[in-house]
Amino acid sequence: MGKLSRADYFRVVRAQYKKANKKTKGELLDAACQLTGLHRRVVARHLRTQPRRKRLRAKRPDIYSYETKQTVMKLWHAANDIAAARLHPFIPDLLDKLKQFGLVVSPEAETQLRHISLATVKRILKGEKRRSTIRIGGTTKPGSLLKRQIPTPGQRGTASSPE
């Protein structure tokens, strides 16, 4: 039984459970335990109490437009994907240079870019950075390929060996 169907079942049986006497409550608990596979105390708690409602937190409205976020990405790529802390002070200069070379930015987005904070730049770049990094399998491990390429004194047939 899934969580949603279990919640529906408890919603239906809860009304009966509250009106029932002690003997009927026991029978309802037995049936619910067998049907749901939950422990008797857990079922009793579900039937005694109302389910908790998740409080939905109001999402703050976006201050920066989609165009501003995309322009930050373009500036970051134009700066060779440098760290946000290094990119942030140069955003106005970089924006001016790229506008000379054909970058089209609305006046609203331009003012937002000139007043953007470092934390916001980091937040915008965080998702893109995660997608663009190359994952490698670890560091260099000692092996025969590397050993053969490095000449060491005392090896036969190498130029560095004494004759």
Which CA distances in Å does 8 have to 17, 30, 147? Answer: 14, 18, 67
For residue 151, the tally of other CB atoms under 10 A from its CB is 12
Question: What tens digit of pLDDT does each residue of 89-102 get?
Answer: 999 999 999 999 99
Domain boundaries, the chain: 3-48, 66-132
CA 58 to chain centroid, in Å, comes to 20
Give pLDDT tens digits along the chain (163 positions): 666 688 888 888 998 899 999 999 999 999 999 988 899 999 999 899 888 888 888 888 889 999 999 999 999 999 998 999 999 999 999 999 999 999 999 999 999 999 999 999 999 999 777 776 665 555 666 667 667 777 777 766 555 545 5
Q: Please tell me the distance from the alpha carbon of residue 139 to that of residue 136, in angstroms, as a whole number.
A: 8
pTM of the model: 0.51
Q: What percent of the chain has pLDDT over 90?
A: 50
Which CA distances in Å does 79 have to 28, 75, 91, 95? Answer: 68, 6, 10, 11
Exposure string for 27-59, b = 16+ CB within 10 A, e = fewer: ebbeebbeebebeeeebbebbeeeeeeeeeeee
